[in-house]
Structure 1
Amino acid sequence: MKLTRRVFIELAGSSALMASAPSLLAQGVTVKRLPLPCSPAQGRWIGSACQGCTQYCAIEVFNQNGRATRVRGNQHSQGNHGFCCPRGHLIPQENYDPDRIKQPLKRTNPQKGRGIDPKWIPITWDEALDIVADKMMELRNAGEPERLLYLKGRYGNTSHALLYGTVAKLFGSPNNFSTSALCAETEKMGPGYTQGLFSYRDYDLGNSKCVVFWGTDPFASNRQVPNVISRLGSLQKNGTLITVDPRLSTAAAKSKEWLPLLPGTDGALANAIAHVLLTEGLWNKEFVGDFVDSKNQFIAGKTVKPEAFKENNTLGLVTYWNEEAKDWTPEKAGKECRLDPEQIRRVARTLGKAAPNVIVWMGPGVCMNPRGTYSAMVVHALNGILGSVDNVGGTHDPVKALTGKYPSMDKYVDELAKTHGKGKKIDGRGDKDMPAAMKAKLGSGVVTNNIANYMLEHPDFIKVMISSWTNTPFAASDGKRWEKALSNVPFFVHMVPFPSEMTQFADIVLPSTFNAAEGMGAVTGFGSMHAWTSLQQPTCDRIWDVKQEENEVTWLLAEKLAKKGWPALLNYYANEFADPETGAKPTNEKEFQLITTKIASAPCWLHGSKPIPGDQINGWEDFRQKGMHNSAPQTYKKHWGGKFPTPSGKFEFVSGDLKKVLETHAAKYNSTPDQILELCNYQARGIKGWMPHYEAPLRHGDQQQFPFLFIDHKSRLNREGRSANLPWMQEFKKCDAGDRSWGDVLKINPTDAKALGLKDNDLVEISSPVGTIVTEVKLWEGVGPGTVAKAYGQGHWAYGQIAAKEYGKTPRGGNNNEILVDDYDRLSGTSCRNGGYTRVSIKKVSSNN
């Protein structure tokens, strides 16, 4: 066949070209493909903040003709180095999710429950807010404002003053809550009761010689994902990566050492590592101190006289040794944790040799269990022994981002609000069995999941509930309690971008902006030895009738309430807020949105007599163009020399704050610290109640009936639980270790699977003492015998046409929280979800092979 111009044109115009290609190639004919004319995409990058996790990365969104099309890390960012993780790249698809709530909705079906159609009808914003204001005024007029409940989920800095911090206080209700206790709060108790830092930590990854990812996988979740990924090469080249996790996580796959311990035994392993560090003289003497005669007296099984050791920046190391660490040999811990004693010893020596340039990075897997406070304390105590606290290549307080303060509202709080606003909160904080002593203050920790229990025990108390960016029936352990509780609420307002399970119980739905692309506010974060203030601002046109719940909706609601006889909220907003540049007062919701954002970010760009620490930004417009402000970098050893915010000013192995908390709480209830600890399900007695130590795991479920320990873990594609309705998330779910695309699997060790007669893809029931879910099974050696693992995120029966197999009724896969028992670490008030605290059974339903 001779390829003439005529023949080529004829073939190019039909499918015959593809059919003829083999014969053409066989004759040595080459067809040259010319590139199509192209040019760089036309558009501009606009700064915002991601909020796909609590890292709150500064990002930039590419705007093309009013559409948000691409995402990258903010090129000015010192925290993510200009990168974003997979969560950030999901933003455009999430923003344009066709199942978003597009206008206000009103329920017409009074019946509420799973599978019940709310029979929504669309209404205007004016109608919706009229209804909400009327219901709120009924409470004020009846003299019972405390029956208003406000619950916040993901939020920006502005919500603390404009929703969470303002509305409930001025209205007169003490019942305003965050959902933070569902996430990872217990880990704050470790650094809190040792060094006075009740916060997540920052890490000097750039100078570290050894990093231990303990109960966390920061390559996939739990903050600083872009930072950790970008540092991986240098960390592997210049140091040693170690992972402690029952599951073969992404971090474990990248590490030199993986310690797959028995779930919940983290404290025993930490004690054994401390034992080796002390007996082999590997503690950091500059930070900790040394024996007076310089001879190591830490000998296994033998006590040490306190006066023989002189401490520098620590308090109570010898007491910790005598009461706890002296008996925890690697052999003893190996039996408890199901680990090789020689690996424990080898890892401890690796840490000691790298000290003080070491990071023991503790995550929720260590401590989101019923005895988690003490697990957090003993694991974090290793940072003290190694001298890594505030040190080069170590663990640090987060740098404080620059933020402005909103004006005081105190003069607008009337007598009704003052009287009723001081009432007891319904989450049970401060009760005898729930000290909730975050920040070393009794009753200061939120006990989010316990709210549902109160609502079930007192079904008539809450009359009006308002919630934003929440989905507790899905996100809280034993979430069906929330379904029952919400069914009893006479009037519930949900402010969200997406129709979640919680939305199905709402009477009024107010569609929120998707704030990463459409909202406006100031958001702060920290990481990589810096902090930042990011400007969330519109990066695209709004295509639906949505409003930002934190500033636009609050202003419009305030106007409605003023017309109905309660002007306090509007007076506060209109009289006290002013543009920090011009002094102009707000007159509508758009002006209020801009002014509140400028106030919150003003220290970043408004020049005074002193230079701005960190980035030098020249005014508001420069700030909008850059999209963020980086703080000055972290400083080293700032708490050394008696400057820790603890009673002693030192890193405490015997916590003065925790001792005071337990004694004060016991006295309040005419009890003793030991009795309080017993009531709260802790094993500690005496001095161990206020020091790091190991507590054996508390597990729910009879071992004979429920033989497997269940491990819940997070996906790198899980945008705060809000990405299950995205095709990209479903397609790329296979990127999570052991998972599959468009599915949901329970990962089980092949040995256990063989004993149960299970094969890949078999459908199984996973049952616990509180519920049953159904999913496929996958044989996987990334979990040890006796344990099973499953990623959180699937199992939605609402949320959209992709998240659910049949919207409103049938889930895709199973929701882990339907089988997790409702329990708490009661010293912090945090919900449990890790450590294998829930036992499960596995039963084959059918074979899909």
Structure 2
Amino acid sequence: MGIMERFVPPAVSRRRFLQATAATGAAATLLSERSQPASQAQPATAAGGGKTVITKNICHQCPARCGIDVYTTDGRVHAIYGNTDHPIANGKLCPKGPLGTYILYDPDRFKGPMKRTNPKKGRNEDPKFVPISWDEALQTVADRLNALRDRGESHRFALIYGRGWGASCAGLLGTFGKLYGSPNVPIGHSSMCSDGSIKARQATDGNGSYNAHDYRNCNYLLLFGCGFLEAFRPYNNVMQMWGYMRTKSPKTRVTAVDVHMNTTLAASDRALLIKPGTDGALALAIAHYILVNGLWDRKFVGDFKDGVNRFKAGQTVEPDSFEERWVKGLVEWWNIELKDRTPKWASEVTTILERDIVATAHEFGTTRPAMAIFERGAHAHSNGILNGMAIHSLNALVGSLFAKGGMMYQMGVPYGPMPANADEYLDDYAKSGPWKQYPRIDLKGHPDGYLLANNMLQEVGPNSLAGKPYKLDTIMFYQNNAVWTAPNGQQWEEALKELFVIDTSPFPGETAMMADLILPDHTYLERLQDAPTYPFEGWPMTQLRVPAIRPLYDTKYFGDVIIEIGKRIKGPMGDYYKALKDSENVLRHLAKGFEANPGDNGVKDFESWKEKGVWYKKPYLWQQRDGEFYEWDGRDYNRRMTPEEVKAKLLKTPSGKFEFRSGWLEAHADWIASKTGRDKAKLMFPHWEEPKHPGGGDLYMVTPKVALHAEGRGGNIPMAISLLQPVMGGRDQVYIEIHPETARKRGIRDGDLCRIKSEVGTITGRVRYFEGVRPDTLVFPMEHGHWAMGRWAKGRAPGHSGEVTVNQSDRISGQCNYYSTKVTIERIA
């Protein structure tokens, strides 16, 4: 028997299937009935002669959370379309949306729980998994956790999660950690996602979140490294809005900034190829131009008391001469930083022509409404939070915050209470046990680590390996494959060799290859799961995944796995999870909140939520207009808000204003200065700082997302592989984009096999000449290079970019600096 046959059992035996399903047969029957309401039955549209049933679900290919209609005939899913009644999808899907059937019917899926029998771990080690029952699997985890708790070592258990969907899965994890007693339950993936953008907003407008956007009414977009037409969230709706914005009158004009020509830049009015890590310099120059030329929004920002513009290049301004409205520290920012940040200066830093900087600044400053949007291309650097603050400050200067055609923040969902109150189930150990003295393994929130970060997932593996501040014992993963996605994942491989590893993925990924226990989740077409929207248009919305079919194999929804483990923990914690009962009971209680807050589509309880697949309630409740903030009164934005209300609900900074001088950063100035070496007099302002580029090479390496990237779930889908890199023509691999001039200087021909090196590793891959990439930069999507994941994913070129990416992070935001490593490239003879 080969490794794949051992790793992925080809089928569940009849005897085991009957054993596994005997206890759940009745529940599965009810689930099948719930997922196939008679009102949705239609004539057959697929072979087999049975009726076709349409089930409401939520796409899982990216964070967008588009509503989907799943077509099932004779018990088999055969089509997926956008839900016409879902505000994000509007009956449409992106290129990867219909590929859910490939995930559901992936032949390499795990068929049930398994345990490792080979104690050796490594890339070339066969785990020699053997099937076990769910009872044995869950009890194995519970016994291990109970033993750690008995020894006063519960802090040595960590639970890592990636894309958390809602209250019935990731929403359960914080309570689990509180009741069990571990600072490491949970640790999220946000530092390896986009915490840089979140922290930049927290520093300036007080909201540690992603923006929602009113694209429909926007007239100018300035895009910094966000892959707007490749992977920006919500991707499907973004494409719909692009079509609207570019055909309405007046047409929304677009300037896009990136390091290579991509779909977004090609479709924009102006494309600016910027030197990696210098986006903040460009933003500072645009701010400088807006102020010098008097283009700021005076009703939001304020004005000179005598109406005479005193912002002159290179000259300071008397602070008392300017009367601020909804901003704080503008003149100080000008005096300490902006006065010298001319377009000419920025041209030298960014390598963008001065005339293009001036044209962009003039258009952005004179077109209303306008938005500046940024993501990892701008903030995944050592100076990332400063870049993000500078870019977001442009939105304040032109008055786009909470304005029509501008940006806002997502409202929460009025869920009902959980079935039980966790605070009533805390024992003495949970309240004051020895685990309280230990910091998190990633040193998040620790003065010697990352005091202001939300998460530091990239540090978990390396810290445990080094015993800093201690070694973990047991680690569990949900929707996370950090051993592959983390920079310098080689350290994770070594760390996991020492730990008891529990993986819950439905697929044989790299983490699973290192696992001691496999507790496979359902795929998303088999789950009952809530999914509140990511920031969209501001008004609250939450979706529900309804299973299209019974689970194909002996898998279990992660939310129920957590509840079942919780029931087996000794003491009152076990009683709490018995009170929760199961994930469906949790969802039914959450839906009770809709009774007092029915959705615009009539959803008022669990059954109607299940039928429609989505609850939402318009409009967004607040709007800033001409420098005044208004609240919706049931008919329009008529009720003027007080400054205190604005501070509590919208601009949540210490001053209740947009802060060019960040009170949040200023409160931690001593720590920031000691850890970063920044000047205490200016560290709280958006300012220019040269980024640090580790790696030891002479070329920047950038690994952007592409349209077919499915957050780690597309690597084993042949259709996604064949269409992944349409510009470069890749069919069975990803090509490394290299400028012809750069390649010829190194004796590299188009299509050559090359070696990429940094100080942490080496990978190989084939290059493709592309004049649309900067001469100092290599570009290739982070998608391939798997050494597991399934038959189509394994061994696909090029090697994984993480193996040559140095583990460096922004010390303030904790953002992993994916795009900062410099490498060398050479032809392999």
TM-score by length of 1: 0.86
Contact 1:79 1:528 in 2 (8 A): no
CA displacement, residues 234-283 of structure 1 (integer Å, 9 cap, x when unaligned) = 32231201101111121111100011010100111001111111111111
Structure 1 runs, 4 residues or longer, greater than 4 Å off: 38-42, 159-163, 638-641
Whole-angstrom distance in 1 between the partners of 2:386 and 2:462? 26
Give 3-state SS (helix, strand or coil) of 1:825's partner.
coil
* CA apart distance, 1:40: 4.5
Q: Which residue in the other structure is 1:660 paired with? A: 667
Whole-angstrom distance in 1 between the partners of 2:604 and 2:269? 46
The 5 A counterparts of 1:180-195 are: 180-195=190-205
Correspondence 1:428 to 2:413: no
Contact 1:80 1:528 in 2 (8 A): no
The 5 A counterparts of 1:122-521 are: 122-158=131-167, 163-176=172-185, 177-237=187-247, 238-355=251-368, 357-406=369-418, 407-418=420-431, 419-422=433-436, 423-438=438-453, 445-458=454-467, 461-489=471-499, 491-521=500-530
Deviates more, 1:167-176 or 1:707-716: 167-176
CA displacement, residues 520-563 of structure 1 (integer Å, 9 cap, x when unaligned) = 3344333134431001121122111110011x2123324444xx
Whole-angstrom distance in 1 between the partners of 2:204 and 2:241? 28
Give 3-state SS (helix, strand or coil) of 1:109's partner.
coil
Correspondence 1:826 to 2:811: yes
Q: Kindly tell me: are residues 317 and 374 of structure 1, through their superposed partners in 2, closer, same or farther at Cα, counting changes over 3 Å? A: same
Correspondence 1:802 to 2:788: no
Unaligned stretches of 5+ in structure 1? 1-37, 439-444, 578-585, 587-591, 667-672, 679-683, 806-810
Give 3-state SS (helix, strand or coil) of 1:742's partner.
coil
Whole-angstrom distance in 2 between the partners of 1:521 and 1:654? 39
Whole-angstrom distance in 2 between the partners of 1:707 and 1:102? 47
Q: Which residue in the other structure is 1:734 paired with? A: 725
Q: Kindly tell me: are residues 658 and 516 of structure 1, through their superposed partners in 2, closer, same or farther at Cα, counting changes over 3 Å? A: farther
2:612 alignment partner, one of 620, 626, 631? 626
The percentage of aligned residue pairs carrying the same residue is: 31
Give 3-state SS (helix, strand or coil) of 1:165's partner.
helix
Give 3-state SS (helix, strand or coil) of 1:776's partner.
strand
2:576 alignment partner, one of 568, 572, 575? 572
Correspondence 1:709 to 2:700: yes
* CA apart distance, 1:160: 6.0
Correspondence 1:785 to 2:779: no
Correspondence 1:698 to 2:692: yes
Whole-angstrom distance in 1 between the partners of 2:603 and 2:376? 37
Q: Which residue in the other structure is 1:816 paired with? A: 801
- Indicate the structure (1 or 2) with the bigger Cα radius of gyration: 1
Q: Kindly tell me: are residues 152 and 57 of structure 1, through their superposed partners in 2, closer, same or farther at Cα, counting changes over 3 Å? A: same
CA displacement, residues 639-686 of structure 1 (integer Å, 9 cap, x when unaligned) = 8863221111111110112101234xx4xxxxxx532332xxxxx302
Q: Kindly tell me: are residues 465 and 529 of structure 1, through their superposed partners in 2, closer, same or farther at Cα, counting changes over 3 Å? A: closer
Q: Kindly tell me: are residues 495 and 334 of structure 1, through their superposed partners in 2, closer, same or farther at Cα, counting changes over 3 Å? A: same
* CA apart distance, 1:794: 0.5
Q: Which residue in the other structure is 2:58 paired with? A: 49
* CA apart distance, 1:620: 2.5
1:813 maps to a residue whose letter is P
Whole-angstrom distance in 2 between the partners of 1:600 and 1:219? 35
Q: Kindly tell me: are residues 358 and 467 of structure 1, through their superposed partners in 2, closer, same or farther at Cα, counting changes over 3 Å? A: same
Unaligned stretches of 5+ in structure 2? 1-42, 631-640
Contact 1:662 1:676 in 2 (8 A): no
CA displacement, residues 738-781 of structure 1 (integer Å, 9 cap, x when unaligned) = 35121121100111111112222110011111111111101001
The 5 A counterparts of 1:575-724 are: 575=579, 577=580, 586=581, 592-604=582-594, 607-608=595-596, 611-612=597-598, 614-634=600-620, 635-637=622-624, 638=629, 642=643, 643=646, 644-663=651-670, 666=671, 673-678=672-677, 684-702=678-696, 706-724=697-715
Q: Kindly tell me: are residues 813 and 674 of structure 1, through their superposed partners in 2, closer, same or farther at Cα, counting changes over 3 Å? A: closer
Deviates more, 1:292-301 or 1:401-410: 401-410
CA displacement, residues 321-380 of structure 1 (integer Å, 9 cap, x when unaligned) = 11111111111111110011000000111111213x111111111111122111111111
Q: Kindly tell me: are residues 279 and 91 of structure 1, through their superposed partners in 2, closer, same or farther at Cα, counting changes over 3 Å? A: same
Contact 2:322 2:331 in 1 (8 A): yes
Contact 2:409 2:538 in 1 (8 A): no
1:134 maps to a residue whose letter is D
1:753 maps to a residue whose letter is A
CA RMSD of aligned residues (A): 2.0
1:361 maps to a residue whose letter is I
Contact 2:526 2:551 in 1 (8 A): no
Whole-angstrom distance in 2 between the partners of 1:624 and 1:412? 31
Q: Kindly tell me: are residues 738 and 296 of structure 1, through their superposed partners in 2, closer, same or farther at Cα, counting changes over 3 Å? A: farther
Q: Which residue in the other structure is 2:758 paired with? A: 768
* CA apart distance, 1:285: 1.3
* CA apart distance, 1:404: 3.4
Whole-angstrom distance in 2 between the partners of 1:80 and 1:381? 31
CA displacement, residues 463-516 of structure 1 (integer Å, 9 cap, x when unaligned) = 222222211111111111100000011x22111111110111111111111124
Contact 2:750 2:768 in 1 (8 A): yes
